[in-house]
Amino acid sequence: MTIRLVLAGCGNMGYAMLSGWVKSGKLAPAAVFVVEPNSDLRKRAEALGCSAAADADGISADAVPALVVIAVKPQVIRDATAAYRRFNDGRTTFVSIAAGTPVATFEAILGDRAPVVRCMPNTPAAIGKGMMVVFSNRLVSDDTKRFVADLLSASGEVTDIDDESLMDAVTAVSGSGPAYIFHFIEALTVAAEKAGLPAKTASLLAIQTVYGAASLTAESGEDPGVLRQQVTSPNGTTAAALAVLMGEDRLTHLLTEAVEAARLRSIELGK
């Protein structure tokens, strides 16, 4: 079968995406070639039925993949991308999931004929519950955009932006956002323990409450503000708690400051 996709890097995120593509049937294993220098990581790609090699030289000389997905750490992105320069004639689209690496970096390495898609995923993509935001340069065709979006949908929700500078805000909200939620669960667990609940019960209540509330928000289609009002009886227990969290917009201000700090750091790292 013709190679449709080359995956450069099969670490945690690369493997999670590969597994989603194969298990969902979006790509046949024989249509994927994985390049991964670590033999243990390479073996798990082969276990899915994909061909693999330690470096790009292992790719057939006559191969013209539709996509080359760059899933390596940002600090090795230049060397890793340069290994695929032979596919820069415009027939292959390059997709990067490397944080903080602008499209211009790939254009500088690959030349001005290479279609490039930049994607910002987050860690829940590992279980198919991720949020992927993409930006494409002017050379990416509409058909390719749809193909990429369909592939990424195996890992969660997908949306696109037209202004690449917004990727710093995307990073601050959905890229770093899972860590904010993890910390909220930690904090709610501590509060539950201080209220007298056993540690195991406190953890279960915190995790399931966040999971259930997020799922209800996603599946109901209701505005979260409406859902909040529906469970808040006047002068009840929820209202008493929300008076603490919402007084003087306390939580909103805190999260706004957190997102802005992450956005500014993303800008710094991008330089």
pLDDT tens series, the chain, 271 aa: 588 999 999 998 899 999 999 999 999 999 999 999 999 999 999 999 999 999 999 998 899 999 999 999 888 899 999 999 999 999 999 999 988 889 999 999 999 899 999 999 998 998 899 999 999 999 999 999 999 999 999 999 999 999 999 999 999 999 999 999 999 999 999 999 999 999 999 999 999 999 999 999 999 999 999 999 999 999 999 999 999 999 999 999 999 999 999 999 988 887 7
Predicted pLDDT of residue 1: 57
Query: Could you give the CA distance from residue 50 to residue 45 in angstroms, rounded to a whole number?
Result: 6
Predicted pLDDT of residue 126: 85
Predicted pLDDT of residue 182: 98
Report H helices in the chain: 12-23, 39-47, 77-82, 103-110, 142-152, 167-170, 177-194, 199-220, 224-230, 237-246, 250-270
| Contact yes or no for 97/69 (Cβ under 8 A) | yes
Query: Could you give the CA distance from residue 166 to residue 238 in angstroms, rounded to a whole number?
Result: 36
| 3-state SS record for 185-211 | HHHHHHHHHHCCCCHHHHHHHHHHHHH
Model-level pTM? Answer: 0.88
| Contact yes or no for 34/4 (Cβ under 8 A) | no
- Token pair of 254, please? 């805190």
